[in-house]
A and B are shown apart, each in its own frame.
Chain A
């Protein structure tokens, strides 16, 4: 249940998986994303409402074949240039995209968590997303005849989130802006939660979300695991790091150097063996 991060990623994330790392600005599981890069995972379908810096890094490192998302940018700073380079120039290889709105993605997770095949919302009508995204379809209300929009459930093979605390039994507690993490975990076949700390007992906190241990496959204790995003009550968002990412992201060589030093600790990048269990 409580395992080291590298072991958890090795066991739970497989080449070709559909993987959701969620966190709406707050509690982004950055360290887990870096571990996925370090272990050289390939052909992933990456799902996330707001792919930001960590997805830019995973895409630039070649982990992703496909991206399902609703807003891909560096919040308050600008564009993600590894994401752009993949879409505009196919570098390091082409990236398929499946593009939604936030309301659509949130409802897709809700359907996934609810055991339903699709969700209904008022959305997308009149936009060009309808023509470009096959997972957006019109539907008529059987009771009122109103024309609405349907989107299919999202059920990731694995969802990864970061939280403030877990207890030793693997019950997870998060608070502050909790985004879509509960739905993303409940929608997934497997889940990994990185936490700031493992404690003996979970003191209640106002506005908390608790994920009972039975829906959490593994917990890894990773203090600072959400940096440069933040963990409410632990550390603040490192806005300067988001600004600084822009220059690294713009340049393939600077990005390669970042991979070498920040991910592979200065050692040449090698691909780990396939997991055997």
Chain B
């Protein structure tokens, strides 16, 4: 739905996510919303963004949005195409990728991510696709950016299954597990932007999108959401960003 502001909630989410990527970044890109945002960043303010897809395409520069992580356009435009064992063992595992860009089906206050099941593992309400590359992306990238639509269904007190570790149980959680990357540093939704509190590691609202209130975001969150004292309003998408995004998504 395009509101009076001239853009949709998904569009401001994607544009805001794209802005968190810089031109000198190596980014491990998941399919769907992360891929759309990363491709938008590369076509706007971050032309040097080095996109890595788990199919083994390093430095892909697709001219259209891929539907899968292994579309032919990724291989045709990549700096190098390597095997799947190589992309995980030689590129991701040693910490060569700055940012992992992930989606989520459920996320909790410590940004732990579930993409495996809703409900009980052995008798699930909804069986989801599973882990894919996410557990090691979340563990080994320099940092992780999550892009996910916000509701009480997705923002839950406790995830039904920890597929990918965020800040585990709170302060020092990642360090105790021996995880090398910094974990999720930003969660971008259709309502606002959340970042882990430096002390508690709990996801805290730092920005709301224009027209959204703190109460709106709290109503869409399954825990008692904290807000930063200097809560900001997200800078709306520019006409230029929207034009590029719409040329990518075909609307």
Contact = CB atoms under 8 A, between A and B. Distances in A.
B165 A127 contact: yes
Given A126-B168, A237-B71, A132 B121 contact: yes
Contact of A125 (B68, B74, B129, B165): B165
A56 to B, nearest CB: 11
A100 B131 contact: yes
A126 B55 contact: no
Interface in A135-150: 146-147
Interface string B54-90: 1111000000001111111011000001011100110
Contacts of A77: 67
Given A102-B131, A103-B88, A127-B135, A176 B72 contact: yes
A34 interface: no
Interface in A210-254: 230, 232, 236-237, 239, 242
A87 interface: yes
B127 A71 contact: no
A179 B75 CA distance: 11
Nearest to B176: A126
B67 A239 contact: yes
B84 A25 contact: no
What size tier do the contact residues of chain B reach? 35 or more
Interface stretch (A11-19, A35-43, A106-114): A106-114
Contact of B127 (A83, A109, A125, A128): A83
A99 interface: yes
A232 B76 CA distance: 9
A224 to B, nearest CB: 15
Nearest to B168: A126
B81 A102 contact: no
Nearest to A176: B75
Interface string B177-204: 1111000000000000000000000000
Given A103-B93, A128-B116, A132-B121, A232 B85 contact: no
Contacts of B16: none
A177 B72 CA distance: 8
A84 interface: yes
A240 to B, nearest CB: 10
Interface string B100-143: 00000000000000001000010011111111111110011000
Contacts of B69: 25, 75
A177 B165 contact: no
B92 interface: yes
A80 B164 CA distance: 21
Nearest to A180: B84
Nearest to A236: B72
A87 B131 contact: no
B95 to A, nearest CB: 10
B35 to A, nearest CB: 9
List the 10 closest A-B pairs by CB distance, nearest first: A25-B70, A73-B129, A75-B68, A71-B132, A76-B67, A126-B165, A103-B88, A103-B136, A101-B131, A126-B177
